[in-house]
Amino acid sequence: MKFYVAGYYGIQGSLKQSWMDTENLLPEKIWSGSSHICPKFPDAWIFDWVTDNSSEERKSAKMALNLSLDQFSAAQREFEQLFASDQFGFPNVFMNSIVAAEQLRKYFYNLPDLKLLGIAMPETYFKEFLDAYSGDESMYYRRNGVYKKIIQKEVCQSPAIGYDLLAWTGADYCSFLCNSLEDEIHQKHGVQYNDYGLVSTYEQAHRVSQAIGNLEINAEEGFWAPWLVFEIPIHQNLPN
């Protein structure tokens, strides 16, 4: 089966929270495509037209990055250029892996547990996705980096490190973990989690995605799919 890349992301691993996983199924550290669970670098705070220096998101990001003011300003200018040239999509989507790796090495080297992860949609979900956002009322969603990347139909060439049950909301992703579904879907559908905190197999993730779509499982609104997750080593020599 083909998977179409929905973007490349700098994602920082997060410790499992106290409200998660009463059955102790997940690893202690988790990587998720949802910024509600794991911070993404950069996020919308990089743009002055979204946030300013007084915002808590900007302050927190500056502290985490540990860059000089000049370095942070340089990063902002560069990401404005990348956005203008469609190499970085709003709010946090790298459109190609080479640019992503270069930028993560250049500005985000102080962050622990940062991985360059790609997220990809199963080809079988593609038409449904297009149909869901085809109307005039969805024009804003079609400007999002995820939508712009998916319609490029770049076929993922990397092996999966796992599958993330995510709902795309038109802005970003919401995870099954946001809905505290990890215990329920293990009990009802036999879902197992790997060392990244991701669903181990496509079949398991697809089965739960369909159950959510059929309203058998109560979950956040959005476009739910079993998204393939793959990793690109940040410091590897990427092809030109």
Instruction: Please indicate, yes or no, if residue 210 is contained in any of the structural domains.
Output: yes
Instruction: Please indicate, yes or no, if residue 23 is contained in any of the structural domains.
Output: yes
Residues of the chain with pLDDT under 50: 237-240
- Tens digit of pLDDT for each residue in 131-173? 999 999 899 999 999 999 999 999 999 999 999 999 999 999 9
The structural domain count of the chain equals 1
- 3-state SS record for 87-120: CEECCCEECCHHHHHHHHHHHCCCCCCEEEEEEE
Nearest residue to 167 via CA among 124, 218, 118, 202? 218
Q: Where are the beta strands (DSSP E) in the chain?
A: 3-12, 14-15, 29-30, 88-89, 93-94, 114-122, 162-168, 173-175, 223-232
Token pair listed for 74: 């340089």
Burial of 95 (0-12, 13-18, 19+ CB in 10 A): buried
What pLDDT shows up at residue 64? Answer: 95
Q: Tell me the helices (H) and strands (E) count for the chain, helix number first.
A: 7, 9
Three-state DSSP at 11 gives strand
What pLDDT shows up at residue 107? Answer: 97
Instruction: Please indicate, yes or no, if residue 206 is contained in any of the structural domains.
Output: yes
Instruction: Please indicate, yes or no, if residue 126 is contained in any of the structural domains.
Output: yes
| Residue 240 · residue 98 · CB < 8 Å | yes
Instruction: Please indicate, yes or no, if residue 108 is contained in any of the structural domains.
Output: yes
Instruction: Tell me the helix, strand and coil percentages in the chain, rounded to 5.
Output: 35, 20, 45
What pLDDT shows up at residue 236? Answer: 57
Domain interval for residue 156: 3-232
Q: Is 22 left (phi over 0), alpha (psi -120 to 50) or beta?
A: alpha
The number of residues making up the chain comes to 240
Instruction: Please indicate, yes or no, if residue 240 is contained in any of the structural domains.
Output: no
